Amino acid sequence: MKHIVVSGEQNKSTSIKRFSLRQILVHFIAAWLLAYAIELFGYFRNIDFLKVLMKGDDNLTIQYIKSRSWTYHDLIDYASFVNETWIIGLFLAFIISLYVAKRHRWWGINSIIAVTLVYVISFVSAHFMKNHTGHWFSTVYNFPFPASVCSFIVVGIMSTGGSCLLFFSHKIATLIEKAVPTNPG
């Protein structure tokens, strides 16, 4: 005997069951790690300038820019490239998150929520940093910001590895599946 659904109540309950805070949390962390790692690798576009930036001395930075005859456009180009690599990393994390969700038959909306949260929180925190440059917040927000070129590589690889572990680990997937029923069909 077939069951006839008169109202949309069955669809609403199925959608609510597919919402998974665990998947959102795990994919949020994995997406942030991957975007952060790719942003770190973006700094390697100009390693000499990166070394000057890591010293944290404005005068050295200005001296470097003048000695290389950089224009305002060159400086903006470098900063934009690093920012764009973060967005590319976030987009890559989104694609991976959707792939993992599809492979495990999870609801893809959770992936959208996770990546959107990474973007929104990053935007809000950057705005907060611009308007309220408290020392404690700068320290927390930039942690872990590498102190040497080698540490950029190490932190980038560790962040990428952590992201991949969260996205592709069977144990993590099992933990998420305890809270997410698979899609029918």
pLDDT of residue 4: 44
Give pLDDT, residue 168. 97
Residue 166 has a pLDDT of 97
**Model confidence over 35-62: pLDDT tens digits?**
999 998 998 898 888 888 777 778 888 8
The number of folded domains in the chain is 1
Q: Would you put residue 105 in left (φ > 0), alpha (ψ -120 to 50) or beta?
A: left
Residue 11, judged by CB atoms within 10 A of its CB (0-12, 13-18, 19+), counts as exposed
Confidence of residue 135 (pLDDT cuts 50, 70, 90): very low
Res 138: pLDDT: 42
In a domain, 81, yes or no: yes
The residue segments making up the domain with residue 125 are 21-177
pLDDT digit string (tens) for 114-134? 999 999 998 887 766 655 544
Task: Tell which residue, 50, 176, 4, has the closest CA to residue 101.
Answer: 176
Domain contains 9 = no
Residue 184 lies in a domain: no
In a domain, 35, yes or no: yes
